[in-house]
Every structure is written in C-alpha cells, then in structure tokens.
Chains A and B, each alone.
Chain A
Amino acid sequence: MVAPAAKFSIRAFHVHYDQLSALRDLDLDIRANEIFTVIGPANSGKTTFLHSLNRLIDLVPVSRCQGEISLDGVDIRRGLEIEVLRRKVGIVFALPLPLPISIFENVVYGLRMQGIRDSQRLNDAVERSLGESYLWEEVKDRLRTPAMNLSGGQQQRLCMARILAGQPDVLLFDEPTSGLDPIATARIEETLLILKEKYTIVLVTNNVSQAARVGDRTAFFLMGDMIEVSDTGKMFTTPADQRTSDYITGKFG
C-alpha cells in the first residue's frame, strides 16, 4: 500500500534552550488531512515541537534548532520566507488571545498584513472563516464590536477564524480547550473533525481522552523524546511501550 503524502517531514530534529535539551532526535511524518495528536506530561517537549512547526520557536532568544523540518517537501528554514510559513501554518493557543480590536479586524488582521485592502475580499474572507469556525451566526450582527466582549469559547473560535481567513494548509492547536467548559470543548472538538477534511491538524493536548476522541494518529512525548507514534486506536488499546501505557492509564501525569 502506498504511504499517504507527508505534509510535514521531520528529520533528526533537536531543540536546545541554552544548555537544556528540550527535544531530542525527532523523526516523524505528519500526513495530509489527518488530526495528529500529541500527548505527554508537562515539560515533555510538546509545545516546543508545535512551535517548531511554524518557527514560533525563533521568538525564544536562547533556542537553537538542529535537523530539518519540511512542509510539502520544502525546508521551512531555508526554502520558505517566515511570514509565508506562518500564513500556511496557523496556530491557536491555550488561552484565547483576541487582539483588543473589533471582531472584524481580528479576523482580517493577517490579510491586512499581506497588503489586501479590497473590502469585498475582506468581507468574503470574514464570512467564510467565521462560518468555518461556526461563529458566524452568533456574531454576524456585531462584527465591529470589541472582540474582548465575547465569551471564552467564542474568543477561541474567533482565534480559529483568524487563522482560517488566510487559507492555511495546516492548523496547530496548543491545548485549545484547557480553559473552556465541557460544552465549549465539545463544540471545538466537533469543529476539528469537520475541519480536517480541508486542513491538516496537529493538536497538542493534556487531556488523554480528547486525543482518543479526535486523533487519527497519536504521538506520546516524554521528557524531550518521542516514545512512540501510531494510529490512535492501536496506541490506546495495545501501546508498544510500557511508559505509554502507564501515562495513558494515569499511573503518572
């Protein structure tokens, strides 16, 4: 059987913060149109991994990376401008982080930075992306009001719309529902399942059951190493490594 095309190709990837080794010798493929979940206890390198995919890690002055990450076969450090990369690979953070501007302006922020000013294009993008994140009906009459006035769950979906407006290829989620109530969490998970038809999704989560609910494949990270990666169903029923099993069953966290 032919292996599905790799969206992200990660080879021999290391990250150091000064003397501390945060991620060691990572070899991994992320396939197109899958939800790839990453689980593991604190300080295992999950967020470091995620931030490496869109080079957000460059913002940490003491970070040093080795190895190669390719998006659609193109090296993200040497073959791609960083602003272009970040438009193709959008990120939603653990806390909802709307900018202190209107809902409309939040969504079109990335587009404006690209120089797009045509109001027709902007309006279309806003309607489309708010629709994809299932926020359009709730806010369509108050697009020009401050985004900070929305509820937590709504703000998080706004953050999703913000990256969808730029028509990215990959969506990164860093524990997106950790600050939300179960209902809001469920809605976001439903949305992810729908989004994967158009996008590739990498989801870092502290919540093992969330990985079981939405992940196609799952990777388990521990203290900077990737211990194992496999189809979610297989990992949760017959994990290859004892440590994976211990973590999933809650023996340590």
Chain B
Amino acid sequence: MTTRLAQKIAFAVLLLATLLVVLPVLIILLIIVAKGASAISWDFLFSMPRDGMTAGGILPAILGTLYLVLGAIIFAVPLGVMAAVYLVEYSSDNWLSRLVKLSIVNLAGVPSVVYGLFGLGIFVTFFGFGASILSGSLTLGIMILPVIITSAREALESVPRHFRTVSLSLGASRWQTIRHSVLPHALPGILTGMILGLGRVAGETAPILFTVAAFYLPRLPQSVFDQTMALPYHLYVISTQVPGIAENVRYGTALVLLTLVLLLNLAAILIRSRFRRKKKW
C-alpha cells in the first residue's frame, strides 16, 4: 500500500471518529425537538402542575432551577474569582499554592453524587438547614467552584504582564493595580466561566437529590428554607418512576432543560470568541 493511500485511509478513519463524537449532539437535539415540541405551550411553561403531575405545567421546576442557579452563582463567583486572584496575583510558587491548585483539581474530580452526600451531611444535617434551596445552592456552589476558579485564572493570566508593571511603576498599590489594570480586562473571561458554571448547575441532578429536590410541590417555594422542584430531577422522576405521563410531556421537559443549558453554553462560547477578536492589545 502506498503511503499516499495509507494517509487517505487514515484521514478518513479519523474523520469518521470525529463525526461519531459530534453528530450525536445533533441527533439527540433532533430527537428531543421532534418528539417534545408538541408539548411546549404557554400553559406548559408557565402554569403549575395539577392532578399529581398528570396535567398542567412545569413552572415550579423551571423557577426552582433558576433559584438554585442564582444561589449557586452568588456563592461561587465572588469566592472563586478571589481565589483565582490569589493564585495569579499574590501567590508565589511555594507549597501552599501547589496545595491549593491540587485541591482545585480534586474538587473538580469529585463525583456529583458525592457532593450530594456532602451537602446532605453538612448543610441538611449538621447546620440543620434541612432539604432546602439554601442547602441545594450551597452544595451546587461548591461543586462549580473549580470551574469558576479555572476560567477566572485563565482570564487573569491572559492579561499582559506589562499592565501590572506599568501600573505599579506609576505608584499604584498591588490591589489598586489588580482592581484597575487587571480585573477590568479579565472580565469577559470571568463572565464566560460564570455562564458555563450556570449551565452546569442547571443540569445537575445528583447533588440536589438529597439536598433540595422534591417531585410534586403544588405551591411555589416561599423562602430559601423551602424545598423546590427542579428540571433535571423532574425529568428523572417522570421518565423512571411515574407511569402514565404522555411521551411528549417527557420529551418536552427534556427539551426545556436542554434548551436552557445549550443556550447558556452557546452564549458563553460566543462571548469568548467575540472577546478574543476584539482584544485591545
């Protein structure tokens, strides 16, 4: 076999593999849209469930997801951005910073169900918050901390070194330099990371299984100490544990969740590429 032919075959195989990875996204999307679109209506999205979930809409699940996402972000973003600032601007390459980086890698690798156990052990039980939006948000917040920290780090590191040098040479203090000459230029990257974190939180089920999620709550939550419905948990229950729900309702729920998550991720991808093209330096 000539080397030219071998190359052609090899490239074709690689292309095939790539398509195998990428096409499923489209296929999954198509199936869900095709079978779930018929369930989507104003009523479905904006009204409360009735008759033990066999009629009505999924508004509380959508709202619940939004509350949890908001709560997680409020907790994770300030803490995560400050941790990233510590790693990039303040730490030197010593044992402490290496330990911090190792911890972040480990937090990123902890299985989501273990986060659920942790949330159960500390927030629900030890602090006594019970199964609540508070417990769920805090658990989800810790879970996405590594995502926020990593993307904030990259954003900070991409700001040219000489901005800091110039600022310091003009008599600014270290914090002033970060606040005025580094952070503003890292903001798009930090924003991207935040949106990716939002998408992740919206889709997670295991961490909220024991810390907040309920299946059928006819009333919307009134405070952070209430339980709530949530889209991913809702999808799980209606597809595995509740018979008699129309097929298009199941697909419709999946469609709502998938749309939410994919829109968030697309927004992040677009912001990131627009920022890369518009860089002023």
Contacts and interface: CB of A to CB of B under 8 A. Distances in A.
Task: Indicate if A touches B (C-beta under 8 A).
Answer: yes
Interface of A: 54, 56, 59, 61, 83-84, 86-87, 90-91, 93, 97, 99-100, 109-110, 112-114, 146, 148, 162-163, 166
B2 interface: no
Given A99-B181, A148-B280, A59 B166 contact: no
Nearest to B280: A100
A91 B171 contact: no
B92 A86 contact: no
B46 interface: no
Contacts of B163: 99-100
29 contacts: A54-B169, A83-B172, A83-B173, A84-B171, A86-B168, A86-B169, A87-B171, A90-B169, A90-B170, A91-B169, A97-B165, A99-B163, A99-B166, A99-B181, A100-B163, A100-B185, A100-B281, A109-B167, A110-B171, A110-B172, A113-B167, A113-B171, A113-B172, A113-B173, A113-B180, A114-B171, A146-B280, A148-B281, A163-B170
A59 B280 CA distance: 25
Contact of B168 (A59, A61, A100, A166): A59
Which 9 pairs across A and B sit closest by C-beta, in order of nearness?
A110-B170, A87-B171, A113-B172, A100-B280, A86-B171, A83-B171, A91-B169, A97-B166, A110-B171
B158 to A, nearest CB: 13
Contacts of A93: 162, 165-166
A48 B154 CA distance: 30
Contacts of A59: 165, 168
Contacts of A110: 170-172
Interface in B129-157: none
A192 B188 CA distance: 40
A104 B172 CA distance: 17
A163 B170 CA distance: 7
Mostly helix, strand, loop or mixed at chain B's interface? helix
Nearest to A84: B171
B278 to A, nearest CB: 11
B41 interface: no
Mostly helix, strand, loop or mixed at chain A's interface? helix
B198 to A, nearest CB: 28
Given A113-B176, A146-B280, A56 B168 contact: yes
B88 to A, nearest CB: 14
A238 B176 CA distance: 49
Nearest to A54: B169
Given A91-B169, A166-B171, 13 more contacts: A83-B173, A86-B168, A90-B170, A93-B162, A93-B165, A97-B162, A97-B166, A109-B172, A110-B171, A113-B167, A114-B171, A148-B281, A166-B170
Contacts of A146: 280
A162 B162 CA distance: 15
A146 B168 CA distance: 21
B68 to A, nearest CB: 38
Given A61-B92, A100-B281, A113-B180, A56 B170 contact: no
Contacts of A148: 280-281
Contacts of A99: 163, 166-167, 181
Contacts of B165: 56, 59, 93, 97
Contacts of B92: 61
Nearest to B179: A113
Contacts of A166: 170-171
Nearest to B166: A97
A148 B160 CA distance: 14
A163 B168 CA distance: 12
Nearest to A148: B280
A139 to B, nearest CB: 18
A112 B170 CA distance: 10
A151 B55 CA distance: 69
B170 A86 contact: yes
A162 B280 contact: no
B190 to A, nearest CB: 17
A245 to B, nearest CB: 35
Nearest to B176: A113
A99 B170 CA distance: 12
A100 B280 CA distance: 6
Contacts of B185: 100
